[in-house]
């Protein structure tokens, strides 16, 4: 049994590594970002923040646990930079500082989760994306050190609870498959269990040198074929294809950093364009068996369950987008597109002084616009509940002071029933991020 520190234990890869290592009989320390200041880490937790922990002295103090740490596994990575969370800090400076401290303390076994790039040479070269370059700089440090490291370079990782797998299942379930460019980018998805088992098997054998292992599935496929396979596993019929020019994709990637998502970025697109394939034999040799093929990505999971989860995801996205459109259009109309005098005439029916009617109109318009933007940028249960209450207030005021709108042939108030249904659906399906 070994004592193993898993950095990024709350992430997709880290969670699965912890489970596999514990099942193999190892004692696991979970490296996670600090919690609320008033709390303390649990006995099996080690608090760390790669965005700021870039000094060797910090790691020397942290790694001096009661009882020697035998192995460090680094499963931390980002696709988007934000504030202090830069590629340089998280992919290079903090890991290298941690590994230097490990060397001084006699911790010699390391597992580094790197990345599979189009060019499998670990050397740095011009034109490398910042994401991949900083990963490679850490890989080179390990290769040139006296540490015994396993550098894993995975292609896309498949798993039921993986962020990327969920994202691709949603894309595959759309009525029209959105394909970047020609869709012929080559990938070699690997199952998370194969990656974790490779780590467990490597740890079970003495190692005296650093090795780099490409972690890929048994066969390559194009991006279009991958979405088609996801669709087949969900029991859906083949879908129509819409090819999106890459310049549009890169424009969307530039804008995506302003929205709550973690997958679409310039770096992820560049890696996709450079292809992500390698020889599967070394991984299969370590596993002593074939790696999982595309038909066995989700064993024992009914196709209907996979499809329901994916369909619900983009249905909820449609609900949010519809609400955002309604609030924003309402704001534009209230703030002047609809004649101001006509709006003020409607407000005269309310028990509001004439001097406050124009400020009230503008305030309501601004509030509607902010609610529309919040539907896109800051979706939350509290937001949906607030909107539900606001719709209730609007409907009550209209019922009391403008009852003629209930009898209007276009049914402007009756349409609130649809909005309420959307909000109730969003509230009932709200889940804390895992």
Per-residue pLDDT of 114-168, as tens digits, reads 998 744 555 566 667 888 899 999 999 999 999 999 999 999 999 999 988 999 9
Q: How many CA atoms lie within 13 A of 228 on its CB side?
A: 10
Distances (CA, A) of 376 to 64, 82, 310: 45, 19, 19
- Distance of alpha carbon 208 from alpha carbon 337, whole angstroms: 73
pLDDT of residue 125: 60
Judged by phi (left if over 0) then psi (alpha if -120 to 50, else beta), residue 106 lies in: left
pLDDT in tens, 281-326: 999 999 999 999 999 999 889 999 999 999 999 999 999 999 999 9
Q: Extract long-range pairs of 135-138: CB within 8 Å, 24+ residues apart.
A: 135/77, 135/91, 135/92, 137/91, 137/92, 137/96, 138/91, 138/92, 138/95, 138/96, 138/99, 138/112, 138/114
Mean pLDDT for 78-101 is 93
pLDDT in tens, 332-388: 999 989 999 999 998 898 888 999 999 999 999 999 999 999 998 899 999 999 999
pLDDT of residue 262: 61
Residue 406 — pLDDT band, cuts 50, 70, 90? confident
Residues in Cβ contact with 433 at an 8 Å cutoff, skipping those fewer than 6 apart: none
**Which tokens go with 50?**
């790669």
pLDDT of residue 430: 78
Q: What is the overall mean pLDDT for the chain?
A: 90
Mean pLDDT for 198-205 is 95
Mean pLDDT for 392-410 is 88
- Distance of alpha carbon 207 from alpha carbon 377, whole angstroms: 48
pLDDT > 60? residue 38? no
Mean pLDDT for 184-201 is 96
pLDDT of residue 227: 95
pLDDT > 50? residue 413? yes
pLDDT of residue 434: 37
Q: Global pTM?
A: 0.84
Mean pLDDT for 407-416 is 84
pLDDT > 80? residue 272? no
Mean pLDDT for 235-253 is 87
For the ranges 11-15, 24-28, 79-83, 272-276, the lowest mean pLDDT is seen at 272-276
Q: What is the 3-state secondary structure (H, E, C) of the chain?
A: CCEEEEECCCCHHHHHHHHHHHHCCCEEEEEECCCCCCCCCCCCEEECCCCCCCCHHHHHHHHCCCCCCCEEEECCCCCCCECCECHHHHHHHHHHHHHHHHHHHCCCEEEEECCCCCCCCCCCCCCCCHHHHHHHHHHHHHHHCCCEEEEEEECCEECCCCHHHHHHHHHHHCCEEEEECCCCCEECCEEHHHHHHHHHHHHCCCCCCCEEEEECCCCCEEHHHHHHHHHHHCCCCCCEEEEECHHHHHHHHHHHCCCCCCCCCHHHHHHHHCCECCCCHHHHHHHCCCCCCHHHCCCCCCHHHHHHHHHHHHHHHHHHHHHHHHHHHHHHHHHHHCCHHHHHHHHCCCCCCHHHHHHHHHHHHHHHHHHHHHHHHCCCHHHHHHHHHHHHHHHHHHHHHCHHHHHCCCCCCCCHHHHHHHHHHHHHCCCCCC
Residues in Cβ contact with 384 at an 8 Å cutoff, skipping those fewer than 6 apart: 423, 426, 427, 430
């Amino acid at each position: 049994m070994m004592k193993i520190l898993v950095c990024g234990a709350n992430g997709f890869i880290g969670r699965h590594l912890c489970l596999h290592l514990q099942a193999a009989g190892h004692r696991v320390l979970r490296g996670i970002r600090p919690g609320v200041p008033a709390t303390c880490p649990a006995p099996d937790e080690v608090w760390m923040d790669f965005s700021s922990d870039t000094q060797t002295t910090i790691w020397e103090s942290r790694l001096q646990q009661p009882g020697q740490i035998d192995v460090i596994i680094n499963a931390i990575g980002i696709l988007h930079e934000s504030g202090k969370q830069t590629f340089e800090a998280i992919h290079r400076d903090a890991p290298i500082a941690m590994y230097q401290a490990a060397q001084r303390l006699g911790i010699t076994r390391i597992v580094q989760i790197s990345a599979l790039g189009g060019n499998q040479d670990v050397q740095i070269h011009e034109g490398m994306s910042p994401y991949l370059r900083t990963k490679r700089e850490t890989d080179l440090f390990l290769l040139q050190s006296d540490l015994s490291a396993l550098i894993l370079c995975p292609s896309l990782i498949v798993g039921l609870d993986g962020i990327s797998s969920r994202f691709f299942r949603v894309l595959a379930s759309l009525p029209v498959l959105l394909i970047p460019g020609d869709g012929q980018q080559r990938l070699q998805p690997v199952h998370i269990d194969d990656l974790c088992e490779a780590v467990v098997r490597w740890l079970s054998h003495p190692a005296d040198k650093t090795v780099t292992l490409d972690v890929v599935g048994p066969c390559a496929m194009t991006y279009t074929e991958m979405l088609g396979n996801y669709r087949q596993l969900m029991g859906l019929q083949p879908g129509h294809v819409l090819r999106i020019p890459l310049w549009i994709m890169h424009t969307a990637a530039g804008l995506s950093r302003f929205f709550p998502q973690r997958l679409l970025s310039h770096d992820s697109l560049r890696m996709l364009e450079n292809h992500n394939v390698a020889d599967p034999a070394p991984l299969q040799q370590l596993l002593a068996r074939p790696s999982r093929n595309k038909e066995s990505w989700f064993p024992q999971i009914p196709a209907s369950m996979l499809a329901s989860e994916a369909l619900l995801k983009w249905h909820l996205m449609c609900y949010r987008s519809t609400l955002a459109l309604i609030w924003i259009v309402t704001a534009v109309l209230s703030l002047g597109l609809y004649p101001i005098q006509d709006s003020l005439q409607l407000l005269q029916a309310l028990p509001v002084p004439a001097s406050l009617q124009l400020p009230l109109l503008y305030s309501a318009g601004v509030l509607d616009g902010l609610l529309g933007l919040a539907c896109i940028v800051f979706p939350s249960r509290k937001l949906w509940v607030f909107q539900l209450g606001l719709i209730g207030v609007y409907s009550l005021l209209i019922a009391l002071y403008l009852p003629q709108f209930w009898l209007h042939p276009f049914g402007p108030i009756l349409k609130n029933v649809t909005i309420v249904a959307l909000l109730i659906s969003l509230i009932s399906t709200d889940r804390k991020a895992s």
